[in-house]
Structure 1
Amino acid sequence: MRNATIKDVAKHSGVSLKTVSRVINREPSVRTETRERVERSIAALHYQPDPSARSLRSTHSYAIGLVYDNPNAHYVISMQEGVLAACRERGFGLQIHPCDSSAEGLAEEIIRVSRSARLAGLVLAPPMSEQPALIACLKAADIPLVRILAASEDPADGSTCVYVNDRRAAYAVTEHLIQLGHTRIAFLWGDPHHGSSSERFMGYADALKAYGVPLNRKLVLSGQYSFDDGFRRARKLLAVKEAPTAIFGSNDEIAAGVLAAARSTGLDVPWDLSIAGFEDNPFSKQAWPALTTARQSTSEIGQHAALRLMDLLRQNRDGHTDSSVANESFVPELVVRGSTAPPRSASPRAEAPAGDTDSID
């Protein structure tokens, strides 16, 4: 059997081809009753819009790009799944473009790819989304884009984004460790050129300050978002005389490396050492004990970023010269599992002082 076409949908729902097109493109001018009738026909006929055919029939492109540079395979796959879900929902094609965020000529590379593939716009993942010079170049080239970035508040800089409040989530993770009774809490940074690294560190520092716990710089180590780097830095921390009783890794790969380091030195997790991570990727669930972490729905974040890009493109097609789409915020959620517990011979700490939980010196 042949695949259903837009003409089949129009005939089945008793409307014009133009009306079906408006429904597919989520244009607001269609009456609710008509939209629902067309959507029922789309479902009944199992119709799937062909982005290539739509682009050929139209002066507009129906394909977007996802641009990323991230060594974390789970992050990349989850982000792709979310953006692809939005594309399927709206009938868009998707082109994936991994790149080196530190490469010379990065802006020219992205512009060339966008134009050669006739991409309607881009979803930019960190760290490219956090590079002002790159954003300025893409805007000057009239390439619509939506950024995904780490920020504790709406940047309100005129560029549409989906921002993740890593700082608040890192505060919650650190607060959990403090309330268990830990005062020697180490922090392992991720890649310094990712905004999430500094946001998570600031959340950690905020919580220490709020509870009156001194920030010991010897317990804060720079590094990368990787298992190996987590292992290496944990072995260094655990070899000192005043070793930490808890270690907070900037992501779950780092935390899994810490767990391996603790095992290699004969420590009992969580009683000798509590470990926490960030993101809630498969490392956190498959580890033994399972890792306390901050759950970040990377797939959902990617989906919402792509939908915002498509809303922006629709406004551009409708001729809105001042097109803008509201920015959206996500806050990762603390998930407590078996890798954290009170330190030996310690009692839980009191609540933080009111009004001193959202800034550092």
Structure 2
Amino acid sequence: MKVTINDVAECAGVSIKTVSRVINNEPSVRAATRQKVLDAVKTLNYTPNLAARNLAGTHTYSIAFIYDNPNAYYVIDMQNGILEACRSKGYELLIHPCDSNSPVILSDLNKLVEHGKVAGLVLTPPFSESPAFLETLKSMNVEFVRIASSRISHEIEENSIQIDDRQAAFNITQHLLSLGHKRIAYLSGGEEHLSTLERQQGYCQALEGAGITVDRQLIIDGEYSFESGESNAKKILRGDSVPSAIFAANDEIAAGALFAARMLEIDVPGQVSIAGFEDSPFSRQTWPKLTTACQPNKKIAHSAAELLLKRIQSKSAKANGSAAEGEIQRSFTPELIIRQSTGPSPE
């Protein structure tokens, strides 16, 4: 039989109303009582009827994950990270893929918030970096947390999780420079993502710091896809002045570049080194395995969801003269992982 709230109340030796307060994260419950209820919930493996809670009153117990990203690995990591935070707080997750180029995206967003009874949103690029999108959310008075690429500073926006793509890209490029590479190509991702520009800036800064003039012919525009990496790598590897290293804006692009090198019978890393970004499964499924920067997407998503739920619950906490507790990691710098795809320059 399905465990009910009555069973939890009996097991904990408290009233049904107290169990409800604990499940709803209301601040007016003593710590010892709260722990007894949580222990009973765990013992009985109780799952609240979230749909009924959403229908029961004005307070909603659902948040939405808004994204437009073709990388399935990225999306799954984000979903899992957000789900972990939701489950720990008794919230549901609405997964909402969108087309960021749709002319009706803003009206669709309005319908989602109004008719979906959504308490808040977790935004990823390009939505989290779109001024029009963010202004629309502010006008709707809905809570949101954005995951965005930006320079880490001491003044982090109160509703953002920052990723320092620039520093991570600088570190990757510096690694290639330390191996003696001077002609390093950069295979770009989509321009609608701020991370694309930030990673390119890190690449350029590392070259300039080493006294190397940035060759714009080695910066190739593209998309965050295997096909883009393959196509652009073939172009640059068939040119008159072949680079000794390629830095791709993500692992999918880098995997495509590695495939292109194999097709052209170019040895990696003997003749050309290749590095990616993100440490997605693509980086570990290739041979040789890709040097990359580990971006902990699941952990980033978990922090974003925790921050959003904290902001949602703090409204109720403030009304009761209390404040939400707990520190949340707000900034991340992807860490360099050196693997077999990079080696000394043949020069």
Task: Please classify the TM superposition score into its range, dividing by the shorter chain length.
Answer: over 0.9
SS state at 2:256 partner? helix
Q: What residue number does 1:318 align with?
A: 317
User: Residues 131 and 159 (structure 1 numbering): CA distance in 2 closer, same or farther, change over 3 Å?
Assistant: farther
Letter of the 1:140 counterpart: S
Unaligned runs of 5+ residues in structure 2 are none
In angstroms, what is the RMSD of aligned CA positions? 2.1
Q: What residue number does 1:354 align with?
A: none
- How far off its partner does 1:20 sit? 2.6
Letter of the 2:283 counterpart: S
For the residues of structure 2 that align with 1:23 and 1:209, how far apart are their CA atoms?
Answer: 56
SS state at 1:75 partner? helix
- How far off its partner does 1:265 sit? 0.9
Q: TM-score, normalised by structure 2?
A: 0.93
Q: What residue number does 1:175 align with?
A: 174
SS state at 2:107 partner? helix
Residues 260-279 of structure 1 aligned to structure 2 (within 5 Å): 260-279=259-278
User: Residues 154 and 34 (structure 1 numbering): CA distance in 2 closer, same or farther, change over 3 Å?
Assistant: farther
Q: What residue number does 2:333 align with?
A: 331
Residues 221-300 of structure 1 aligned to structure 2 (within 5 Å): 221-300=220-299
Farther-moved stretch of structure 1 (236-245 vs 5-14) = 5-14
Letter of the 2:231 counterpart: R
Indicate conservation of the 8 Å contact 1:161/1:327, yes or no.
no
For the residues of structure 1 that align with 2:3 and 2:195, how far apart are their CA atoms?
Answer: 45
Identical aligned pairs, as a percentage?
A: 46
Letter of the 1:72 counterpart: N
Q: What residue number does 2:205 align with?
A: 206
Number of equivalences: 343
User: Residues 177 and 29 (structure 1 numbering): CA distance in 2 closer, same or farther, change over 3 Å?
Assistant: farther
Q: What residue number does 2:217 align with?
A: 218
Farther-moved stretch of structure 1 (246-255 vs 19-28) = 19-28
SS state at 1:318 partner? helix
SS state at 1:269 partner? coil
Q: What residue number does 1:86 align with?
A: 85
Indicate conservation of the 8 Å contact 2:271/2:346, yes or no.
yes
Indicate conservation of the 8 Å contact 1:154/1:163, yes or no.
no
SS state at 2:134 partner? helix
Letter of the 2:332 counterpart: F
SS state at 1:95 partner? strand
Q: What residue number does 2:343 align with?
A: 341
Letter of the 2:187 counterpart: L
For the residues of structure 2 that align with 1:272 and 1:187, how far apart are their CA atoms?
Answer: 17
Residues 35-74 of structure 1 aligned to structure 2 (within 5 Å): 35-74=34-73
For the residues of structure 1 that align with 2:158 and 2:308, how far apart are their CA atoms?
Answer: 11
Indicate conservation of the 8 Å contact 1:107/1:138, yes or no.
no
Q: TM-score, normalised by structure 1?
A: 0.90
Q: What residue number does 1:129 align with?
A: 128
Indicate conservation of the 8 Å contact 1:83/1:305, yes or no.
yes
For the residues of structure 1 that align with 2:307 and 2:210, how far apart are their CA atoms?
Answer: 39
For the residues of structure 1 that align with 2:261 and 2:287, how far apart are their CA atoms?
Answer: 12
Q: What residue number does 2:194 align with?
A: 195
SS state at 2:299 partner? helix
Indicate conservation of the 8 Å contact 2:251/2:283, yes or no.
yes
- How far off its partner does 1:159 sit? 5.5
**Alignment deviations for residues 35-70 of structure 1 (CA, whole Å, 9 cap, x no partner):** 322221111100112211222233200011111111
SS state at 2:312 partner? helix
